[in-house]
Amino acid sequence: MDLETQIQSLISSFVYGMYLSLIYNLSYKYLYSKNIIIKILTNFIYMIVNVITYFTILKLINEGIVHPYFLISLLMGFLVGNKTTKKIRTKKVDKRKKSR
């Protein structure tokens, strides 16, 4: 794999990690619902859709080759994205507490 393809894969993994963080924080109340059926279905759908989407993106960029540093970049993107998008989750929780 040439250097340009690796850089594209690293950047797309980082950006996709940020996207995962955004989707995670938007669907937080469903992922951690008290209803066990909703919790299982939401977690299953969340994981399957995002894994398939990530591998499809890698397939388009570099023929689907996954290196450990792509996964590290994905994790770093998630952590950076979580720093900024965590506010979405806390605002929703604060609104629910105020309405009670």
- H helices of 27-67, in order, are 28-31, 36-62
CA 61 to chain centre: 19
Burial of 70 (0-12, 13-18, 19+ CB in 10 A): buried
Query: pTM here?
Result: 0.81
Residue 68: per-residue pLDDT: 94
Per-run averaged pLDDT (10 residues), the chain, 100 residues: 92 96 85 86 92 95 92 96 81 57
3-state secondary structure of 9: helix
| Cβ count within 10 A of residue 36 | 8
Residue 98: per-residue pLDDT: 59
Q: Which amino acid is at 34?
A: K
